[in-house]
Amino acid sequence: MLAGLGCSSMDELFSHIPASMQSKSFGIPEGCSEIEARRRFRALAAQNAIHCLNFCGGGFYDHDIPAAVDALASRGEFYTPYTPYQPEASQGTLQAIYEYQTAMARLTGMEAANASLYDGGTALFEGVMMALRITRRSKVLVDGGVNPVYREMLRTHFHNHDEACEDVPLKAGQTDAEAIASKLGKDTAVVILQNPNFFGSIADHTSLIGRIHEAGAVALMSVYPLSLGILKTPGDMGADIVTGEGQSLGLPLSFGGPYLGFMATLMKHIRSMPGRIVGETTDAQGRRGFVLTLQAREQHIRREKATSNICSNEAHCALRALLYLALKGRAGLVQTATQCWETARYARDSFAKIPGASVKFPTEIFNEFVLHLPVPAAEIVEKLLQEGIACGIPLSRWYHAMKNDLLVAFTEKHTRQDVDALAQSLREALAS
């Protein structure tokens, strides 16, 4: 292989990779034993700040996970099966996925859901591609409140496409419905909304979605699933496609994954939906059974007619989401969402009293909001990390004009004492 590539050694083959990113940066001596390597990795893992009081959000949240989720999801019957390529032989896996689809359809207020996708950003892109197939149009309008990570993923995916993505700026932290409506045209395929938006603001998009439909376009909404315990569902607002990140439904943060992208839609669009879809049927003896159906994936030799190039799904993550929702139940989901909402409102009122600080957007929120500080937010984050507090996300990472703005999030794991402790630490950090 080296000769064919014109390289004299493995070092030359990987020479374009910066030295700091090569495996040598782990400091493992060449040829060390298994026990030595294990000891080294344990020492590295011990450096991770996993016990911080965590107030970070931005699409991924530190929610409590019932112990039964881990116990049940780790059972051999669930943990060992691979993705069902010979589906009819995997009735247990198919039933679990079918129940997951049912739960997600009910949660979002939609009529059908698929058997999951990679993550929230991938699901959003796949939803856009689905809308392009439905409308046979080419213009994509993206609300400015959509997660900037997702928007970057969209730009990457569409880099070699003819379709045009246009961002529509927010107005005072909320969707500018009039600006979006003014941009609707005969070439508009889809409008992408997010609720709550990236800055934590919530809104009822029913009226705007009505105008989107009048223009012949599709309304795609990205949602935070746990918030649907108390917020109006996208189905009730009239959305055509719903996507999102399912991490809040029983998945730990885990340094970035694996996570779960979900998608739900209306039955009239189901044949345009990518990924696996499990259906219920009866066999020749009249027994209840489950099958993979309505698919046009590349693994089924559909080639250019495939709805997606997705070649796998996040079935085990979807199983965890199903277990979480089943264990919580309707009342438990409402209770958890309400705790998040109440804690965030308490925090917003408390932080507004900190000298020099202010809440940036006077909007309704679910569980996070933007706090404006008199100094760069990144500096405050660094100070509080030394105290074992991850106080939020400095928005300058994506918005250069927001260097003094901090996105803070709250979940049912935070008590009022936690909020008071963060408020006191912020006061002290700003005063020093």
> 386 phi and psi, to 5 degrees?
-65, -20
Q: In whole angstroms, give the CA distance from residue 252 to residue 60.
A: 9
H-helix segments, 49-142 = 67-73, 76-79, 91-108, 120-135
Do 359 and 309 have their domain in common?
Answer: no
Amino acid at 178: E
Q: Enumerate residues 6+ apart whose C-beta is below 8 A from 258.
A: 251, 314, 317
DSSP 203-266: ---HHHHHHHHHTTPEEEEEE-GGGGGTSPPHHHHT-SEEEEE-TTTT---TTT-S--EEEEE-
Does 16 reside within a domain? no
Residue carrying the six token digits 């796998």:
312
| 193, burial (CB in 10 Å: exposed 0-12, middle 13-18, buried 19+) | buried
Do 174 and 118 have their domain in common?
Answer: yes
Do 150 and 188 have their domain in common?
Answer: yes
| 5, burial (CB in 10 Å: exposed 0-12, middle 13-18, buried 19+) | exposed
Domain around 264: 67-324
What is residue 47's predicted lDDT score, i.e. its pLDDT? 85
Does 171 reside within a domain? yes
Do 399 and 317 have their domain in common?
Answer: no
Q: In whole angstroms, give the CA distance from residue 50 to residue 47.
A: 9
Do 137 and 226 have their domain in common?
Answer: yes
CA Rg value for the chain: 23
The number of folded domains in the chain is 2
Secondary structure class of 23 (helix, strand, coil): helix
Residue carrying the six token digits 């994954």:
257
Helices 120-135 and 148-157, packing angle to 10 deg: 50
Q: In whole angstroms, give the CA distance from residue 240 to residue 234.
A: 8
The CATH number of whichever domain residue 174 belongs to comes to 3.40.640.10
Bridging pattern class, strands 358-359 and 393-394:
unpaired
Do 125 and 215 have their domain in common?
Answer: yes
Bridging pattern class, strands 261-265 and 241-245:
antiparallel
Does 309 reside within a domain? yes
Considering only CA atoms, which of 123, 346, 340 is closest in space to residue 220?
123
Structure tokens given for 77: 């019957």
Do 314 and 377 have their domain in common?
Answer: no
Do 157 and 245 have their domain in common?
Answer: yes
Does 112 reside within a domain? yes
User: What predicted TM-score, i.e. pTM, was given to this entire model?
Assistant: 0.89
Do 136 and 263 have their domain in common?
Answer: yes
| 30, burial (CB in 10 Å: exposed 0-12, middle 13-18, buried 19+) | exposed
Does 162 reside within a domain? yes
Phi-psi region of 119 (alpha: psi -120 to 50; beta: other; left: phi over 0): beta
Q: In whole angstroms, give the CA distance from residue 83 to residue 122.
A: 19
Does 19 reside within a domain? no
Do 307 and 359 have their domain in common?
Answer: no
Contact in structure between 180 and 168 (CB atoms under 8 Å): yes
What is residue 222's predicted lDDT score, i.e. its pLDDT? 98
Does 295 reside within a domain? yes
Do 212 and 280 have their domain in common?
Answer: yes
Show which of 302, 324, 346 is a domain's final residue.
324
Does 254 reside within a domain? yes
Residue carrying the six token digits 């109440």:
342
Q: In whole angstroms, give the CA distance from residue 391 to residue 364.
A: 21
Tell me, what DSSP letter sits at residue 387? T
Do 291 and 397 have their domain in common?
Answer: no
Q: In whole angstroms, give the CA distance from residue 168 to residue 144.
A: 5
Residue carrying the six token digits 């409140």:
145
The CATH number of whichever domain residue 400 belongs to comes to 3.90.1150.10
Show which of 303, 324, 345 is a domain's final residue.
324
What is residue 23's predicted lDDT score, i.e. its pLDDT? 65
Cα–Cα distances (Å) from 262 to 24, 100, 126, 140, 279, in that order, read 38, 10, 10, 20, 17
Q: For the chain, which residues score pLDDT lower than 70?
A: 23-29, 81-87, 295-304, 309-313
> For the stretch 166-181, what's the b/e string if a residue is b when 16 or more beta carbons lie within 10 angstroms of its beta carbon?
ebbebeebbbbbeebb
What does the angle CA 66 – CA 254 – CA 44 come to, to the nearest 5 degrees?
125
Q: In whole angstroms, give the CA distance from residue 379 to residue 358.
A: 17
What is residue 260's predicted lDDT score, i.e. its pLDDT? 92
Show which of 324, 358, 388 is a domain's final residue.
324
